[in-house]
Amino acid sequence: MTHTSAAKSRSGFPGPFVLPILLLGVLLSFPAQSVRGALNGLLLWFHVVLPTLAPFMICTQMITALGGAQWMMRPFGPLLQKLFGLSPSGAYILLCGLLCGYPLGAKMCADFLRRGNISEKEAACLLAICNHPSPMFLSGYVRAQLPFPVSPVLLFTSLYLPILPISFVARHIYGKRSRFTDPVLTDPSPRQPNDTPSLEDVIASACETMVIIGGYIMLFSILVVWIQEFPVGSSAARAFLTGAAEITTGVNSLCHYFHDKKALMPVICAVAFGGFSGIFQTKSVIRGTGLSIRQYLYWKLFHACLSCLVTACLLSLPVR
């Protein structure tokens, strides 16, 4: 800290510690709501996120470490590479991100970038398209919460079809119009035995990531309880704020406020955006890579808009 900045701090200029102090004051002022929110978040993490995400995280890291990505991608790789212009490693990241859900796609993108398996340009493009809710979350949880029966095909189309135009726009913005190549998988040099992490290393890495994710889920679950409990704004505003904060609780809140088919559009918007809890989880797994969380936020907003547009088009089709 320079002498000038230190003088500003001593003169009473508010620093970054102001927000934590304010949050501590709210925690102490409303202990019952805060404890309930923390408990809800930890239960959500323990019963839903941990058992569904941690095994996928361990398996994908072991597949990558043992060199099984190329073998696994033989049925899907050529199609994904042609549609999205990705390298073999990039296609593997996209497939795992689509199947496993937040924030595994972003974590794999960051891990592959750190190891040099993908370029910075491809990593920036992948971050725009590889981090989404899993099909299991959409077909299991979201469908069950909606107050009317909806086809899983509609949900999958609304959430995953916008990946194509987003990929096209991202490749042009980041200056890569041709297909990406894989700098590591095409390298004929043999892998050294010491380069392969052990199962214990992979489990330790997955546990560290899961603890960080659990911390963010707990904090945003407390925020959700505050939004729902305090009579600030209308019920619709609180429902939208809940959806913007955390998608699991947000989907439930939106489905309780909106009736019948009116709930579909705000739910699609909330799920496509991923909530600020998902934004902060993504920020935690890409730290130190140079990838921009601000750009990621813009891409998620763009994705939410496209998903709503696709949903509106699908709902306008005549039903036979």
3-state class (DSSP) for residue 314: helix
Cβ partners under 8 Å of residue 207, min gap 6: 54
Q: Give the span between the Cα atoms of 175 and 32, in whole angstroms.
A: 52
Other Cβ atoms closer than 10 A to 212: 17
Letter string b/e over residues 143-152, b meaning 16 or more CB atoms within 10 A of that residue's CB: eebbeeebee
Q: Give the span between the Cα atoms of 103 and 63, in whole angstroms.
A: 18
> Model pTM?
0.82
Are 279 and 293 within 8 A, CB to CB? yes
Digitized pLDDT (tens) for each residue of the chain, 320 residues in all: 444 444 444 445 556 677 778 878 878 888 888 898 899 889 988 888 888 788 888 888 888 777 777 777 777 778 888 888 888 888 889 988 888 888 889 999 999 999 888 999 999 999 999 998 888 889 888 988 898 888 999 999 999 999 999 999 998 888 765 567 666 444 433 444 456 677 888 888 888 888 988 888 898 889 888 888 876 677 888 888 888 998 888 888 898 888 878 899 999 999 999 999 999 999 999 999 999 999 999 999 999 999 999 999 998 887 55
Is the CA virtual torsion 303, 307, 310, 316 positive or negative? negative
Q: Per residue in 157-200, pLDDT tens?
A: 999 999 999 999 998 888 765 567 666 444 433 444 456 677 88
How far are the Cα atoms of 17, 283, 293 from residue 288, in angstroms, in the given order? 23, 10, 11
Domain limits, the chain: 30-186+198-315
Q: Per residue in 243-289, pLDDT tens?
A: 899 888 888 889 888 887 889 999 999 999 999 999 999 999 999 99
